[in-house]
Amino acid sequence: MSTAAEISPRRMARLAGFFYILMLPIGMIPMLVGRVPITSDAAATAAAIVAHPAAFYTGFLADILIVAVYIPVTALLYRLFAPVDRALSLTAAFFSLVGCADQAFACLFRVAPMTVLTSVPASRAFSRAAIETLVQFLLNFYKLGYGIALVFFGVYLILIGTLIVRSTFMPRLLGILVMLAGVSGLTFLWPPLSQSLWPRQALCFVIGEGSLVLWLLIRGVDAERWHALARGTAVD
């Protein structure tokens, strides 16, 4: 079996692009099944969740799968950019993994409302209005946790973009686009700002990450320049 050290840089790039692009069909699954309408009306939101359990759980599953496929992306991009700056590449991977952990934790608040709404003990101990308010509270925590995860991913993209700019095996323009996508993620530090910029910051994500994915899949990296850097850098 080939070890990570034996994988060619082009294969690493294409594997990273493959796992990266898997996020697209995974993200489309809830759209195909149907989304549960989440509004500021606690009663309407609770009723929609109970009425559409399949759609609700599908959204939760899609979130978890996206986290799962982003972990190998993080590992492969760390290996790919370690010859440029091992410490910076490791720092980028750290921010990505923290973002993954945060998003996975936030998913607990996404799935918890169904448990609360279908719990017999909860229905006996609390009024319907109290349960509906709790459901809204949990969903708000999910949104908050998801936004925090996007901030960590924003820092990650800024660092990856910096590594691309500093590398000699991928185009600098690509790195700048990825950095702009990362800056868009930082807008979630202040939710009112991110809401006012929607969907423009989403477009930055699409352009930046989309360009990176396509480049990884189609062009990969300049293997000769990558190896030249790797010979001068100790990569564990």
Q: What is the CA radius of gyration of the chain?
A: 20
Range of the domain at 111: 4-220
Global model pTM greater than 0.75: yes
Per-residue pLDDT at 3: 43
pLDDT along the chain (236 residues), means of 10: 65 97 88 74 91 90 95 98 97 98 95 92 88 94 94 98 96 98 94 84 92 96 92 59
Per-residue pLDDT at 34: 63
Residues contacting 143, CB < 8 A, separation 6+: none
Per-residue pLDDT at 47: 92
Q: Is residue 91 one of the residues assigned to a domain? A: yes
Q: Is residue 230 one of the residues assigned to a domain? A: no
Q: Is residue 233 one of the residues assigned to a domain? A: no
Q: Is residue 226 one of the residues assigned to a domain? A: no
Per-residue pLDDT at 31: 66
Q: Is residue 30 one of the residues assigned to a domain? A: yes
Q: Is residue 236 one of the residues assigned to a domain? A: no
Q: Is residue 36 one of the residues assigned to a domain? A: yes
Number of separate domains in the chain: 1
